[in-house]
Structure 1
């Protein structure tokens, strides 16, 4: 008893996709918070900043790809699962990339890129 995606109201699609991306962000931040205990504030701040940016652009992509004009738009439940998983995986990849880049930067003995300059 599935409905045709073209007949769903636009506001339902907007709410579903926005909620799915927000849920993906919340799940990622909840799971990432366990791995950053005992560190300075820079790592959790970096994690949160990158995650919010990735989620914002993933949310825009979700709204564009699943717009009501799109003929191959997914119905709401599969779209919510897809976009939640996509946001979680994109956040994991982006934050891992930036953390490793910062770790390698420091490992090679390069000077800090923030802080007071004397």
Structure 2
């Protein structure tokens, strides 16, 4: 079982590195492999992590709907798991902002932060 966990996590890390180098098809292949290996041994943490990486991969390709879908898939596994925060922030909030479908209060708070940075005594 430990060998499967190591293989799953290695694939997940390689997938993440492929995302960071813009090799999206390679990233998806590694993430799919990570998920399959992790599911075989019921490793929820690695499965959620790979789903987060798939979400990030979709986000960087501009596919915000797929990004949210991968995040939701991971969140359904264990909504209270520590990996859930990564899925909520990177997998749900970022795509909503990128697609222009974020609730109005998110845009308003972003504008407020921008106007605060423009204040001379805060800019220094």
Higher helix content, 1 or 2: 2
Using CA pairs under 8 Å that are at least 6 residues apart, name the structure with larger relative contact order, 1 or 2: 1
**Shorter-chain TM band:** 0.3 to 0.5
TM value normalised by structure 2: 0.34
Structure number with larger C-alpha Rg: 1
